[in-house]
Structure 1
């Protein structure tokens, strides 16, 4: 695995109510990602066990073009425009693949 573009995004949510609304926004966004983004290889949202107001996204794209196509999607643009009202902070780390194992796609 020498191609691919990855991201780790850490969102700190402002409150329990904000977390619930953010999770709903994410669920709606995920529907579009699953239906319209073949170049998005992995898009997983996590919650650290001891941090209920934190969401960590792990994203893996086939290449930079797939990431740019993801960012251009209407469902992603909606997510990006709406998310700020729920957040207390954000950290984004871009990752270039060096090597690794990727499960075969069925």
Structure 2
């Protein structure tokens, strides 16, 4: 599987108004990720079925350097600062790949 770095982040949002604003912030942040982060292989936001105030991110980076480059971007720093006003909780899980399939 190579040296890729993955993580899953679970966000608990304050209320529906906060969820809408958080989703807007995510959309803005994804523009920067798509345009400026070739080492970010996947960055996907999900809403679990039946949990409208939860967001789950799946992130996959080519390597630790790509993750560090992501963290250093202005759009990421803005996201990390602004997201706090919408949240009641966050849980981050870093993942080491064991096996799998990655699309070319």
- Considering the TM-score relative to the shorter chain, is it more than 0.5? yes
Aligned residue pairs, count: 104
Aligned structure 1 segments of 4 or more residues deviating by more than 3 angstroms: none
1:98 and 2:98 aligned: yes
Aligned to 1:67: 67
Distance in 2 (alpha carbons) for counterparts of 1:66 and 1:95? 15
- Structure 1 unmatched runs, 5+: none
Task: Assess if the C-alpha contact under 8 Å between 1:8 and 1:57 holds in 2.
Answer: yes
Aligned to 1:4: 4
Distance in 2 (alpha carbons) for counterparts of 1:67 and 1:80? 14
Q: TM-score, normalised by structure 1?
A: 0.96
Aligned to 1:22: 22
SS in 2 for 1:70: helix
Distance in 1 (alpha carbons) for counterparts of 2:7 and 2:38? 17
Distance in 1 (alpha carbons) for counterparts of 2:21 and 2:13? 10
Distance in 1 (alpha carbons) for counterparts of 2:60 and 2:42? 5
Aligned to 1:41: 41
